[in-house]
């Protein structure tokens, strides 16, 4: 009762309040979408601080995105008149980065280590394959990177990876070589941030003891999407393993929703929830069943849909918000028409007074955004894309960042290779190969190998080195802004884009980089996550008895722990880290009232007044790559559940009969998810479904229209000839079954993944060896069975 009087707790229901005020100990809150999990987590932190049960420095909170972390900090500052500085709130990557910077010597990294994003990692792998003359056909760079990340996410170094066959043994060897390359260059990829940090805690008892003592309260949002390694990391912080026996300590509160687990493809393990309950002997499990976000038509739709999944922990969700508006369903003739309809609808909503920033357009694949963007752009509707090509991933920005990274660390070969000939300065691929050979022979960086290359190639390379050195000298003592401006000009990037007719956007983006840096310095004071241990932290470390060498098991205790004493990161390194870890939204768009475009994955945890879910078609959503097995399909359904539950008041679901994607036209059936929604909650904006059998006629008309404007078709119409459609008759018994090996005149050999529909409408999904996965209409496509 005393609790209820606290203003902090006033806006909570009894279950939420119980969760917020739980005594210290391990707790799991398992609850559906919009039930206030994140609100409970944030309020719990505020409550712990306000009641004096915890100091800010004792809090560690893990959020799924940087955006969520910022939001949590903002809310906390609004709730309490305290400095939130001492708290560690961030993503796993952000928190691990912070830890590694503080103990870089212990883990064998330069303090200024650079972070490779997915793109950088891929080019690093490509460089590796080339250097070791590995055939890319046999070991596609993407697969190699995927393999390496997979191993790391399981917590496995090369020596520990089971390799049952030659193929895997080769991959493991590549993993080993890749590690050596990264180490030499002083760079770490995303998965490495976690693995290194985990090993730091596991292998250095004093460090572990320090953080265990420090973080009395650990809180984790979106727990269902943690992977194996993240869970292991948490265990290091919140318990000890003695003789293989885990003894939990401290207080961990995890909140999650098994129905919203959507990152299995990246190694997330819902099983972590069960493990958590068991290994931490979780005494407190709280369920939240009231949804505060959505009206009941929306919520009923979500509930009905997810009920089709078999593997669920089972939760109920109700809302007191009343039925609200029906869920609107729209069928468009084509993706283009879908986009036009969407723009009209958005304009109408805006005219009716809805703020554009409260409208979200969600899609399954990034590739879908282009068509939507161009319509919004043409119509002059301000919009903002999240998670597509992030600002910091744009080519011109990456170039500028590469120069900046070279200023800090010339041995960063990824950056070196990226800009040694950009803007072009006559250094060809051949020269680069010679340089790479020399570097490998000498076991040194490309930078150091330059002096060993002679002739005119050597002169040119020397010129590049000199250029970087001049820029570095000029940078010393300068502000971040001045350094970036200097580099953008001095590197020749600005000049290059000025000469390029289409370089204007890129020049603007480079200017934007300067603004991004400015606001970074101003708002963040170099970025909370990027800065090394604050002074008090360091002091705490050196004073703790274990770190003074009392613990005989600590091989590198004592002064080593003091790694960060007196050192702070330069603003440049802090900014480069921020660039690698941040979503990097275009600052210019930030303040605008703009419609929000994003993938469903990126929408997790967010909410909007109106939500459009586009491209609800078989093969797209559910995605074709996930349809082959039950597990994949269930993950797609959870994804759809996440999408639906983002909506507060109004929800639109749309699909198109025909769509251009990846340069190909595809005929798509409406998503099966439509059939899983309760009819009573829906309203069809377009006449429902075409009558059976009309498919061929519709498609034929469409394809004639399209063939004038576009090339290739996914569907093979070659057999129709010019005489028009074959008379409508029963499709021949094709004899093609799931799993069959087939041959197609245009796409070659492939394996049938799935068959759908009957007779004339029967379609097969085929994974072609050379041409990827496609849906083909069996009545039309020339497929023959291969023995």
Q: Tokens standing for 210?
A: 């320090």
Distance CA 511, CA 513 (A): 5
* Minimum CB distance to Mg ion, residue 581 (Å): 21
Catalytic site residue from 152, 356, 646, 650: 646
Q: Count Cβ neighbours within 10 Å for each residue of 264-294 and write b for 16 or more, e otherwise.
A: beebbbbebbeebbebbebeeebbbebbbbb
Give yes or no for a cis peptide into 622 (omega within 30° of 0).
yes
Residue 35 annotated as lining a ligand binding site: yes
Distance CA 226, CA 19 (A): 21
Q: Which of 8, 9, 15, 16 binds ligand ATP (CB under 6 A)?
A: 16
Other CB atoms closer than 10 Å to residue 110's CB: what's the count?
15
* Minimum CB distance to Mg ion, residue 14 (Å): 20
* Minimum CB distance to ligand ATP, residue 18 (Å): 12
Q: Tokens standing for 184?
A: 């030499």
SS3 sequence, 727-783?
CCCCCCCCCCCCCCEEEECCCEEEEEEEEECCHHHCEEEEEECCCEEEEEECCCCCE
Catalytic site residue from 63, 224, 226, 260: 260
* Minimum CB distance to Mg ion, residue 80 (Å): 20
Q: Which of 33, 115, 439, 777 binds ligand ATP (CB under 6 A)?
A: 33
Q: Which stretch binds ligand ATP (CB under 6 A): 33-41, 193-201, 211-219, 445-453?
A: 33-41
Nearer to Mg ion, 460 or 648 (CB): 648
Nearer to ligand ATP, 187 or 359 (CB): 359
* Minimum CB distance to Mg ion, residue 164 (Å): 40
Q: Tokens standing for 509?
A: 């983006």
Is 646 among the residues known to form the active site? Answer: yes
Alpha helices by DSSP H, listed for 525-614, are 535-543, 571-581, 587-590
Is 37 among the residues known to form the active site? Answer: yes
* Minimum CB distance to Mg ion, residue 220 (Å): 12
Q: Count Cβ neighbours within 10 Å for each residue of 509-526 and write b for 16 or more, e otherwise.
A: bbebbbebbeebbeebeb
Residue 216 annotated as lining a ligand binding site: no
Is 222 among the residues known to form the active site? Answer: yes
Beta strands 763-768 and 772-777 are antiparallel
Distance CA 595, CA 575 (A): 28
Q: Is 23 exposed, middle or buried, given 0-12, 13-18 or 19+ CB atoms closer than 10 A?
A: exposed
For residue 257, the partner it binds in Mg ion, ligand ATP, none, with Cβ less than 5 to 8 A by kind, is ligand ATP
- Nearest in space to 259 (alpha carbons), one of 34, 93, 15: 34
Does the footprint of ligand ATP cover residue 197 (CB under 6 A)? no
Nearer to Mg ion, 40 or 402 (CB): 40
Residue 33 annotated as lining a ligand binding site: yes
Q: Which stretch binds ligand ATP (CB under 6 A): 37-45, 53-61, 149-157, 358-366?
A: 37-45
* Minimum CB distance to ligand ATP, residue 20 (Å): 11
Other CB atoms closer than 10 Å to residue 690's CB: what's the count?
13
Residue 38 annotated as lining a ligand binding site: yes
Does the footprint of Mg ion cover residue 155 (CB under 5 A)? no
Does the footprint of ligand ATP cover residue 37 (CB under 6 A)? yes
Give yes or no for a cis peptide into 565 (omega within 30° of 0).
no
Nearer to Mg ion, 42 or 668 (CB): 42
Q: Which of 16, 21, 35, 38 binds Mg ion (CB under 5 A)?
A: 38
Radius of gyration of the chain (CA): 28
- Nearest in space to 71 (alpha carbons), one of 82, 57, 61: 61
Residue 34 annotated as lining a ligand binding site: yes
* Contact predicate 431/458, CB 8 Å: no
Nearer to ligand ATP, 192 or 258 (CB): 258
Q: Which stretch binds Mg ion (CB under 5 A): 30-38, 274-282, 668-676, 718-726?
A: 30-38
Number of residues that bind Mg ion (CB under 5 A): 3
Residue 32 annotated as lining a ligand binding site: yes
CA-based end-to-end distance of the chain: 75
- The overall longest dimension of the chain from CA atoms, in Å, is 90
Nearer to ligand ATP, 39 or 390 (CB): 39
Number of residues that bind ligand ATP (CB under 6 A): 19
Helix, strand and coil percent figures for the chain, each rounded to 5:
50, 15, 35
Beta bridge partners, 253, equal: 27, 219
Q: Which stretch binds ligand ATP (CB under 6 A): 6-14, 471-479, 564-572, 754-762?
A: 6-14
Does the footprint of Mg ion cover residue 605 (CB under 5 A)? yes
Does the footprint of ligand ATP cover residue 486 (CB under 6 A)? no
* Contact predicate 427/433, CB 8 Å: no
Distance CA 215, CA 87 (A): 9
Does the footprint of ligand ATP cover residue 39 (CB under 6 A)? yes
Beta strands 217-220 and 664-667 are unpaired
Does the footprint of ligand ATP cover residue 13 (CB under 6 A)? yes
Q: Which stretch binds ligand ATP (CB under 6 A): 35-43, 137-145, 362-370, 728-736?
A: 35-43
Which 603-632 residues touch ligand ATP, going by CB under 6 A?
Answer: 605, 607
Does the footprint of Mg ion cover residue 32 (CB under 5 A)? no
For residue 149, the partner it binds in ligand ATP, Mg ion, none, with Cβ less than 5 to 8 A by kind, is none
Nearer to ligand ATP, 37 or 763 (CB): 37
Does the footprint of ligand ATP cover residue 360 (CB under 6 A)? no
Residue 37 annotated as lining a ligand binding site: yes
- Phi, psi torsion values for 464, nearest 5 degrees: -65, -45
Is 587 among the residues known to form the active site? Answer: no
* Contact predicate 643/600, CB 8 Å: yes
Is 181 among the residues known to form the active site? Answer: no
* Minimum CB distance to ligand ATP, residue 346 (Å): 22
Distance CA 525, CA 517 (A): 11
Q: Which stretch binds ligand ATP (CB under 6 A): 8-16, 160-168, 203-211, 244-252?
A: 8-16
Does the footprint of ligand ATP cover residue 356 (CB under 6 A)? no
Does the footprint of ligand ATP cover residue 34 (CB under 6 A)? yes
Q: Which of 246, 292, 702, 717 binds ligand ATP (CB under 6 A)?
A: 292
Does the footprint of ligand ATP cover residue 376 (CB under 6 A)? no
Distance CA 635, CA 260 (A): 9
Beta strands 27-31 and 245-248 are unpaired
Does the footprint of ligand ATP cover residue 577 (CB under 6 A)? no
Residue 632 annotated as lining a ligand binding site: no
Q: Which stretch binds Mg ion (CB under 5 A): 34-42, 470-478, 658-666, 728-736?
A: 34-42
* Minimum CB distance to ligand ATP, residue 636 (Å): 18
Nearer to ligand ATP, 302 or 404 (CB): 302
Nearer to ligand ATP, 73 or 669 (CB): 73
Other CB atoms closer than 10 Å to residue 545's CB: what's the count?
10
Distance CA 657, CA 210 (A): 59
- Nearest in space to 339 (alpha carbons), one of 383, 385, 370, 382: 370
Does the footprint of ligand ATP cover residue 598 (CB under 6 A)? no
Distance CA 549, CA 557 (A): 6
Q: Which of 35, 97, 226, 657 binds ligand ATP (CB under 6 A)?
A: 35
Helix axes 190-203, 205-214, angle to 10 degrees: 100
Q: Which stretch binds Mg ion (CB under 5 A): 9-17, 271-279, 597-605, 688-696?
A: 597-605
Catalytic site residue from 16, 38, 230, 765: 38
Catalytic residues: 37-38, 221-222, 260, 646
Q: Which residues are annotated as a binding site?
A: 31-38
Q: Which residues are annotated as a binding site for ATP?
A: 31-38
Q: Which residues bind Mg ion (CB under 5 A)?
A: 37-38, 605
Q: Which residues bind ligand ATP (CB under 6 A)?
A: 11-13, 16, 31, 33-39, 257, 260, 292-293, 605, 607, 645
């Amino acid at each position: 009762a005393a609790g209820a009087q606290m203003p902090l707790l006033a806006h909570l229901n009894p279950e939420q309040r119980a969760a917020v005020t739980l005594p210290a100990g391990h707790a799991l809150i398992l609850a559906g979408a919009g039930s206030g999990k994140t609100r409970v987590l944030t309020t719990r932190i505020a409550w712990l601080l306000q009641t004096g049960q915890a100091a800010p420095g004792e809090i560690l909170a893990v959020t799924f995105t940087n955006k969520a972390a910022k939001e949590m900090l903002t809310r906390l500052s609004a709730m309490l008149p305290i400095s939130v500085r001492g708290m560690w709130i961030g993503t796993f990557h952000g928190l691990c980065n912070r830890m590694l910077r503080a103990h870089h010597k212990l883990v064998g990294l330069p303090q200024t280590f650079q972070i490779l994003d997915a793109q950088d990692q891929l080019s690093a792998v490509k460089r590796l394959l080339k250097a070791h003359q590995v055939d890319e056909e046999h070991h596609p760079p993407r697969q190699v990177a995927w393999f390496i990340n997979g191993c790391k996410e399981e917590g496995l170094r090369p020596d520990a990876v089971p390799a049952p066959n030659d193929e895997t043994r080769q991959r493991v060897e590549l993993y080993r070589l890749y590690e050596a390359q990264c180490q030499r260059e002083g760079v770490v990829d995303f998965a490495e941030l976690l693995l290194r940090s985990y090993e730091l805690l596991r292998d250095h008892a004093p460090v572990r003891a320090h953080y265990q003592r420090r973080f009395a309260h650990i809180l984790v949002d979106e727990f269902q999407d943690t992977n194996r390694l993240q869970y292991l990391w948490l265990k290091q912080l919140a318990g000890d393993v003695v003789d293989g026996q885990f003894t939990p300590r401290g207080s961990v509160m995890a909140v999650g929703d098994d129905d919203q687990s959507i990152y299995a493809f990246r190694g997330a393990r819902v099983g972590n929830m069960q493990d958590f309950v068991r290994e931490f002997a979780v005494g407190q499990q709280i369920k939240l069943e009231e949804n505060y976000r959505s009206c009941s038509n929306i919520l009923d739709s979500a509930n009905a849909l997810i009920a089709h999944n078999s593997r669920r922990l089972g939760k109920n969700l109700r809302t007191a918000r009343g039925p609200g508006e029906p869920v609107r369903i729209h069928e468009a003739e084509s993706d283009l028409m879908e986009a036009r309809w969407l723009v009209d609808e958005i304009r109408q909503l805006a005219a009716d007074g809805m703020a554009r920033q409260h409208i979200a357009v969600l899609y399954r694949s990034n590739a879908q955004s282009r068509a939507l963007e161009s319509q919004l752009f043409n119509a002059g509707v301000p919009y903002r894309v999240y998670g597509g090509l992030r600002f910091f991933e744009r080519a011109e920005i990456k170039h500028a960042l590469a120069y900046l990274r070279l200023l800090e660390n010339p041995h960063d070969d990824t950056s070196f290779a990226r800009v040694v000939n950009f803007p072009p300065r006559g250094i060809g691929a051949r020269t680069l190969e010679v340089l790479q050979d020399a570097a490998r022979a000498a076991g040194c960086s490309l930078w150091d190998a330059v002096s060993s290359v002679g002739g005119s190639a050597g002169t040119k390379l020397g010129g590049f080195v000199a250029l970087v050195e001049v820029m570095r000298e000029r940078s010393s003592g300068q502000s971040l802004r001045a350094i970036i401006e200097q580099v953008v000009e001095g590197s020749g990037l600005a000049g290059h884009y000025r000469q390029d007719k289409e370089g204007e956007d890129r020049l603007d983006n480079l200017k934007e980089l300067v603004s991004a840096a400015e606001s970074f310095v101003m708002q963040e004071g170099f970025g909370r996550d990027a800065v090394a241990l604050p002074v008090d932290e360091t002091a705490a470390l050196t004073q703790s008895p274990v770190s003074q060498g009392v613990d005989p098991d600590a091989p590198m205790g004592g002064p080593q722990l003091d790694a960060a004493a007196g050192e702070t990161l330069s603003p440049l390194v802090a900014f480069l880290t921020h660039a690698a870890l941040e979503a990097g939204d275009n600052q210019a768009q930030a303040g605008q009232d703009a419609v929000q475009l994003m993938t469903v994955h990126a929408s997790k945890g967010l909410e909007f007044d109106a939500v459009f879910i586009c491209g609800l078609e078989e093969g797209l959503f559910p995605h074709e790559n996930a349809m082959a097995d039950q597990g994949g399909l269930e993950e797609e359904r959870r994804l759809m559940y996440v999408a639906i539950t983002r909506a507060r008041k109004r929800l639109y679901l749309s699909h198109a009969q025909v769509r251009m994607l990846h340069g190909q036209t595809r005929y798509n059936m409406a998503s099966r998810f439509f059939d899983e929604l309760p009819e009573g909650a829906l309203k069809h904006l377009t006449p429902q479904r075409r009558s059976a059998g009309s498919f061929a006629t519709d498609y034929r008309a469409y394809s004639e229209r399209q063939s004038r404007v576009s090339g290739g078709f996914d569907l093979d119409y070659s057999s129709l000839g010019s005489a028009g459609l074959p008379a409508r008759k029963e499709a021949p018994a094709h004899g093609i079954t799931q799993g069959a090996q087939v041959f197609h005149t245009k796409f070659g050999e492939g394996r049938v993944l799935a068959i759908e529909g009957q007779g004339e409408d029967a379609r097969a999904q085929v994974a072609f060896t050379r041409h990827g996965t496609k849906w083909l209409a069996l009545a039309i496509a020339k497929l023959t069975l291969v023995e």
